[in-house]
Amino acid sequence: MAETALIDVQNMSKFFGSVVALKDITVTVNAGQVLCLLGDNGAGKSTLIKTLAGVHKPSEGTFTVEGKQVTFESPRDALDHGIGTVYQDLAMVPLMSVTRNFFMGREPTRGRGLLQRMDIDAANRIAKEEMAKIGIDVRDPTQAVGTLSGGERQCVAIARAVYFGAKVLILDEPTSALGVKQASMVLRYIAQARARDLGVIFITHNVHHAYPVADKFTILNRGRSLGTFYKADVSREQVLEMMAGGKELDELSSELEEFTRADSTEGTSAQLEATAAAESALASAMKDETEKAHKQ
């Protein structure tokens, strides 16, 4: 490979006592690439990202960041190496303002010694600018984060990670609790981050959200990797099938067919159509965004 991967993990394993949480996982992310980490509940997605983020130490395997081997002692350590993780709980305090959340733990200061104080004006300005860059107009950066929508909150958390020097973004289920519109806002931002040459690891169990933005997929099942696939080589249905463990899904779909035959309701098909429409809208929005980003 000519390009040095931002993150390169080879044959990583993680054991908790006698429990094998991860076994022989290999993951690489380059700049300007979106890797989707897919897997059902309990597949080991969380353990993997916590290991990448410096919360856990890998039990086996090598972990290199931009060609250099690393061992993270703490999440702070990972952050210093440019790995920014946005957890599901977002690490946001709803009662605090957008600005105060944005700079929580890393406040810009003025003055020295006992007179050192937070540079509130600069903080407000930066928070507003950073949010504007991703197309969210925070009317008032002093408003509480609790007043923002779920998608906006997610974007604040991502913008914060980027602002503080993340080269690789690890996003833990950023769209799981969001509606279609909110999710597309977040997905659009992921596409933007890619256009700015950031590496993104996007954890989800929703293939429909993953497919439009991802460049490649790594599928986890019960702590093991089922392989990494480039988008060109694999269809949405194939990904879905592998993720759920093909057999079970086959059984499920044949069961569902039975139901459909028995009911032959119009509601189901109408619903399916609606989903398909929403998805194609999402995909075209993504395309626009990527094109725009490339033009810049």
Which positions touch other proteins (CB under 8 A)? 75-76, 79, 87, 89-96, 100, 103-107, 109, 116-118, 120, 128-129, 131-133, 135, 137, 139-140, 143-144, 146-149, 292, 295-296
Question: Measured from the CB of residue 148, what is the shortest distance to other proteins in angstroms?
Answer: 8
Between 145 and 220, whose beta carbon lies closer to other proteins? 145
C-alpha distances out from residue 278 to 23, 79, 236, 281, Å: 37, 36, 16, 5
Question: Measured from the CB of residue 98, what is the shortest distance to other proteins in angstroms?
Answer: 12
Question: Measured from the CB of residue 152, what is the shortest distance to other proteins in angstroms?
Answer: 10
Between 120 and 249, whose beta carbon lies closer to other proteins? 120
Q: What is the DSSP letter of 95?
A: T
Question: Measured from the CB of residue 291, what is the shortest distance to other proteins in angstroms?
Answer: 12
Between 120 and 226, whose beta carbon lies closer to other proteins? 120
Question: Measured from the CB of residue 107, what is the shortest distance to other proteins in angstroms?
Answer: 4
Question: Measured from the CB of residue 141, what is the shortest distance to other proteins in angstroms?
Answer: 11
Between 53 and 240, whose beta carbon lies closer to other proteins? 53
Backbone phi and psi for residue 8, each to the nearest 5 degrees, phi listed first: -135, 110
**DSSP string covering 236-259, please?**
HHHHHHHHH-HHHHHHHHHHHHHH
- Produce one character per residue of 1-34: b if its CB has 16 or more CB atoms within 10 Å, e if not: eeeebbbbbeebbbeeeeeebbbebebbbbbbbb
Between 188 and 231, whose beta carbon lies closer to other proteins? 188
Question: Measured from the CB of residue 87, what is the shortest distance to other proteins in angstroms?
Answer: 7
CB neighbours of residue 265 within 10 Å: 11
Looking up tokens 């806002």 gives: 185
Between 24 and 140, whose beta carbon lies closer to other proteins? 140
Task: Measure the CA–CA gap between 216 and 36, rounded to whole angstroms.
Answer: 6
User: Who contacts 254 (Cβ-Cβ below 8 Å, separation ≥6)?
Assistant: none
User: Who contacts 287 (Cβ-Cβ below 8 Å, separation ≥6)?
Assistant: none
Which helix (H) or strand (E) segment holds residue 182: the answer is helix 180-195
Between 116 and 235, whose beta carbon lies closer to other proteins? 116
C-alpha distances out from residue 86 to 45, 79, 164, 166, 205, Å: 14, 11, 12, 11, 16
